[in-house]
Chains A and B, each alone.
Chain A
């Protein structure tokens, strides 16, 4: 247990040492999205129920929270491992008495911490915009669901980042997964628009996107309503975690802890 806690602490300490890059930069992106889409264009974007403005900003905040969580959880574990491959630290990970489970859960929990920090900062920025625009704060309807989706989302994307980093042989391969898989699925997963605003064909395609369920799960936690049932979103999130864990565990028995 001590080894696990030290690895978790080291991983959190690592991203805290580069806070500008790991937390402040994503916060600025989220703030810009909130300013441009939520505040400036929000009044012109019509929601499925016909409302605009306040409802759209409220809709956008949880979407951006989940987007920040997913991206940062993925980047935390993947960049940690890839930089370790580059510097040679990865060999330490292989030679110290840390079990496969210790490594998988410590790295992915550190991803949860960073992702949650970014999501919390995004919520804070969103609340400031919301208060300035509408004179009151956005209340979080289901805090327990919020905790659940932040935890599961962070773990899933942390483990995904870990596997990608172990698989990648070059920085290019790592950024390819981020750019060609995570990014489009995030943008098409309902961060900015409701599924009901899409053509039926795209609605069906969106339902096949696993990120859609994470985003809408978190949206339900904050707003109390979303494009899918919360149990459906929670079930898919849990299933995703189970799949990721099995894959990560299997991968760890095959990979080499050797440097690039």
Chain B
């Protein structure tokens, strides 16, 4: 039995044509898919095209060509159906001036056709520690609470795909950790998650696979572990009994023993040995400068 991909990006191109100046190619034909229940990290420097792609998935922007499919439905052909399956946490916080949190979540539920969604609203407010603030306006909340409210809003209709566009930008460490713990919980509930982030350490810890975009091109897509293994080298720092320190990188085709032999270091010369694995950040930089 074949499983339908929660999200398929099919050769998506997007060109913005400003009133003055040259057209800007924000996306140059991107294709990848997100697997059921995975956390997919969409990485790239500022202006790479990540938010444009998120906007196309949520139908805020139309692609110049190509298509996006959510569980097999095209966002161009069946936007109302795809919107019901996707939740989005935008990069910038929405202020929502007139209503308190509970009212906002009730109206938001209604937009998804959910008349009596109190149970889900209550669950989200509790899980995101917003229950004591349910009758406050957005402007009365701290930045972190507002960010959590955005997540509650995105989840109010229990979407199967969640898009998180820089959800931890400007958020303190504790809240970031809480948010990532929550993201893992959602993953365990079967939600497929696409996240964009500048925090590559977090992406490395969270994402099953990553896609790296630069200047509108998809430069790499694959499992996080693979990209680190393929593009980075293990660092070795040896302290000899003589007090001398030797640092070297382990070539991909070598193991540690071979590398030590290449550097003519025998085991009985070693006082201390420290190895450091390559990081996603190093791999990311290599992909960008390829």
Chain A residues packing against B (C-beta within 8 Å)? 2-3, 5-7, 9-10, 13-14, 17-18, 83, 86-89, 91-92, 94-99, 256-259
B88:A97 contact, CB within 8 angstroms: no
Closest to B92 in A: A88
Interface centre among A3, A10, A98 (most CB of B within 10 A): A10
Closest to A3 in B: B111
A258 to B54, CA, bound (A): 13
B96:A97 contact, CB within 8 angstroms: no
B95 — which chain A residues lie within 8 A by C-beta? 86-89
5 CB contacts below 8 A, A to B, read A2-B113, A6-B110, A86-B95, A88-B95, A257-B60
A10:B107 contact, CB within 8 angstroms: yes
**0/1 string, B86-117, CB within 8 A of A gives 1:** 10101011111111000100011111111100
**0/1 string, B110-147, CB within 8 A of A gives 1:** 11111100000000000000000000000000000000
A96 to B60, CA, bound (A): 10
A2 to B99, CA, bound (A): 19
Closest to B80 in A: A97
* B61 located at the interface, meaning its Cβ lies under 8 Å from any Cβ of chain A in the complex: yes
B115 — which chain A residues lie within 8 A by C-beta? 2
A2 to B108, CA, bound (A): 11
B94:A87 contact, CB within 8 angstroms: yes
Q: Given A2-B115, A14-B98, A256-B61, verify A96-B108 contact (CB < 8 Å).
A: yes
Closest to A99 in B: B80
Smallest distance from the beta carbon of B91 to chain A beta carbons, Å? 10
* B59 located at the interface, meaning its Cβ lies under 8 Å from any Cβ of chain A in the complex: yes
B110:A3 contact, CB within 8 angstroms: yes
Smallest distance from the beta carbon of A63 to chain B beta carbons, Å? 32
B98 — which chain A residues lie within 8 A by C-beta? 13-14, 17-18
* B215 located at the interface, meaning its Cβ lies under 8 Å from any Cβ of chain A in the complex: no
A95:B94 contact, CB within 8 angstroms: no
A96:B83 contact, CB within 8 angstroms: yes
B113:A97 contact, CB within 8 angstroms: yes
B103 — which chain A residues lie within 8 A by C-beta? 13
A10 to B109, CA, bound (A): 12
Contact pick for B94, options A14, A91, A98, A99, CB 8 Å: A91
A256 — which chain B residues lie within 8 A by C-beta? 60-61
Smallest distance from the beta carbon of A103 to chain B beta carbons, Å? 10
A256 to B14, CA, bound (A): 14
* B58 located at the interface, meaning its Cβ lies under 8 Å from any Cβ of chain A in the complex: yes
Closest to B61 in A: A256
B176 — which chain A residues lie within 8 A by C-beta? none
Interface centre among A10, A92, A97 (most CB of B within 10 A): A97
Contact pick for A98, options B61, B93, B111, CB 8 Å: B111
Closest to A16 in B: B98
* B234 located at the interface, meaning its Cβ lies under 8 Å from any Cβ of chain A in the complex: no
A98 — which chain B residues lie within 8 A by C-beta? 111
A91:B111 contact, CB within 8 angstroms: no
B80 — which chain A residues lie within 8 A by C-beta? 97, 99
A34 to B281, CA, bound (A): 72
Contact pick for B97, options A9, A87, A95, CB 8 Å: A87
Smallest distance from the beta carbon of A230 to chain B beta carbons, Å? 39
Closest to B114 in A: A2
B92:A259 contact, CB within 8 angstroms: yes
A111 to B153, CA, bound (A): 26
A83:B97 contact, CB within 8 angstroms: yes
A259 to B94, CA, bound (A): 10
B153 — which chain A residues lie within 8 A by C-beta? 92
Contact pick for A3, options B61, B86, B112, CB 8 Å: B112
B60:A94 contact, CB within 8 angstroms: yes
Smallest distance from the beta carbon of A95 to chain B beta carbons, Å? 5
A95 to B60, CA, bound (A): 7
